[in-house]
Structure 1
C-alpha cells in the first residue's frame, strides 16, 4: 500500500514538472515603453471587414519611435487613458504591448498612456465663408514656399451622374450618395523624398481648398480635413441640380481645387471631371 502511494506521488510530481515546463514554453506578451507622435491632422482608416473600402472612418495619425517618418492610421480610443482632441498635436510616452495570442479580429498590439510629454494647440483661423473676398482669381492665391508640389492625388478623378442623381466612377461602379460622398486627397509623396518630413508639417498639410467651378465665377472655400472635401460642399445642392437639369451630350465639366494650408497658402492644384452617365 505504501509502495502504491509512493508511485502515485512520483507520477503526480512528474505531471507537475511537465505542466510547469509547458507553461514556460507558452508565448508571453511583450511590453515596451515607446515615444509616439500624434498629428493635429486626422486621417482615414477602414474596418477590418470593409474589404472594398466603401465606408471610411476618421482616425488619428500616429508615428511611433521605431517607425520614424511613417504616419499610420489609428482609431480614436485605441490608446487607453488618452483622449484625442482635434487641432492638437501630441508627443506621448506609451506602453505598447505585443499580444502573444491576439484576437483574430483585432490588432496584435495594445497601447496605454504613460505620460503626455507635449500637448500643442494649433490655432485655427475663423470658419471659412462661402466666398473669400480677397480671392477673385487663381492668380490671387499666394503659394507656400516650395509649392506647388505634387503631394496629393484626387480620388475619384472622374464622377459620372445619371439623371436620377446617382453617382458612379469612370468604370460604372456605384459610389456613395451625393450627401455622403467625399472626394479624397491621397498623399502620394514618396517617403524616400528628401522633403518628406518637411511636407508632413503644418505649412504643407491640406486644410482648405478653393473651388473653381465651370458653372460659376464664384470661388468657394471649403474644408478638406478628414481625408478630403465633401462633394456637397464642392458642388452645392443648387449647382448639383443644375448639372442634373442640363442637356450635356458629351460635355465634360471640369472642377479645379487649389489645396491650401491652414494659413490659406497654396499647396497644389488638383482637378476632377463630372460627366453624364
Structure 2
C-alpha cells in the first residue's frame, strides 16, 4: 500500500467532511482512495511523509453496521520518505469571478453536470439526463460526475487532493454577489446553489421555456479554481 504525502477529504455517515489519508493499493493501481488516519493498526501517519507499506488486510464477512468490511494492520514500513508540502495559501477576498486564482494546470475537464434543470409548475426539479426526476427543491442535489479519462497521462495527479472539488463559487444571473458553497461527497445541494428567493423568482416569474444560466467555479480545499461548469435552469 502506498500512502500519499498529501491528505484528502472523506465524508462520515451524516455527510460531514473530515481530513484523512490517501492510499493506493497494488490491486487498484493509479487510484487514490481516502482512509481514516487510524485505520491501519500499528501505523501512525505523519503529514509530509510518503510511505510504502506492507499491510495485512482482513475482509470481514459480517462487518459492524456503518463500518468498513476491510481491516488493515501494519506488517512493516518498506519506505518512509519526507517531502515538502506547499503551505496553504492565505485566503483571498473573492468578490467576483476575476478574483478567483486557478491552480497549476487548471482549468481541466474533470467534472461534468447535467446541462439543464427544469422546474415544473409544482416546483419539482427534473434534469435532462433523467438523473433527477420530480425532486423537491430542498432534496435535489447538483451531482458532479468525474469524466477524466484514465488514459490521461496526468490521471493520478489530477486525482490528488489538490484537484478535488471541495467547494464551488456560485455565479448567479440574478445576483452580483459570488457565494461559496461546499460540494460534499457528490456535489452541492440545489437549495444552496440557488437560494430560496431566486427559486421563488424562477417558479413565479419565469414563463414556460424561459431559462437562466448559472455557473459553478469548482475550487479545491485552498479555494483555488479547478474548472468552470455552466448549467441552465428552465421553467418547464
Partner Cα distance (2:76, 2:112) in 1: 34
Q: In the TM superposition, what is the alpha-carbon distance from 1:247 to its structure 2 partner?
A: 3.2
| Runs of at least 5 residues in structure 2 that lack an aligned partner in the other structure | 43-48, 63-68, 81-85
Answer whether contact 2:56 2:73 (CA < 8 A) is retained.
Answer: yes
Instruction: Choose which of 77, 92, 96 in structure 1 pairs with 2:57.
Output: 96
Please give the root-mean-square deviation of Cα atoms over the aligned residues, in Å.
Answer: 4.3
Answer whether contact 1:43 1:73 (CA < 8 A) is retained.
Answer: no
Sort the Cα spacing of 1:70 and 1:203 in 2 relative to 1 into closer, same or farther, 3 A: closer
Sort the Cα spacing of 1:202 and 1:270 in 2 relative to 1 into closer, same or farther, 3 A: same
1:18-57 matches, within 5 Å, as: 40-42=8-10
State whether structure 2 residue 133 is matched by structure 1 residue 174.
yes
State whether structure 2 residue 24 is matched by structure 1 residue 63.
yes
Instruction: Choose which of 152, 166, 183 in structure 1 pairs with 2:111.
Output: 152
Corresponding residue for residue 187 of structure 2: 228
1:1-277 matches, within 5 Å, as: 40-42=8-10, 63-71=24-32, 94-97=55-58, 110-114=70-74, 133-136=93-96, 138-154=97-113, 156-170=114-128, 174-277=133-236
Answer whether contact 2:9 2:17 (CA < 8 A) is retained.
Answer: no
Q: In the TM superposition, what is the alpha-carbon distance from 1:146 to its structure 2 partner?
A: 0.7
| Runs of at least 5 residues in structure 1 that lack an aligned partner in the other structure | 1-33, 45-55, 83-88, 104-108
TM-score w.r.t. structure 2 length?
Answer: 0.70
Answer whether contact 2:108 2:226 (CA < 8 A) is retained.
Answer: yes
Answer whether contact 1:41 1:225 (CA < 8 A) is retained.
Answer: no
Sort the Cα spacing of 1:125 and 1:175 in 2 relative to 1 into closer, same or farther, 3 A: farther
Structure with the higher fraction of residues in helix conformation = 1
Sort the Cα spacing of 1:247 and 1:152 in 2 relative to 1 into closer, same or farther, 3 A: closer
Sort the Cα spacing of 1:183 and 1:115 in 2 relative to 1 into closer, same or farther, 3 A: farther
- Residue by residue over 1:82-116, the C-alpha shift from the partner in whole angstroms, topping out at 9 and shown as x without a partner, is 9xxxxxx99776432368xx68xxxxx63244489
TM-score w.r.t. structure 1 length?
Answer: 0.61
Q: How many residue pairs end up in the alignment?
A: 219
- Residue by residue over 1:238-258, the C-alpha shift from the partner in whole angstroms, topping out at 9 and shown as x without a partner, is 211121111323212111011
Return the index of the structure with the highest Cα Rg: 1
Q: In the TM superposition, what is the alpha-carbon distance from 1:174 to its structure 2 partner?
A: 1.8
Sort the Cα spacing of 1:71 and 1:201 in 2 relative to 1 into closer, same or farther, 3 A: closer
Partner Cα distance (1:227, 1:143) in 2: 22
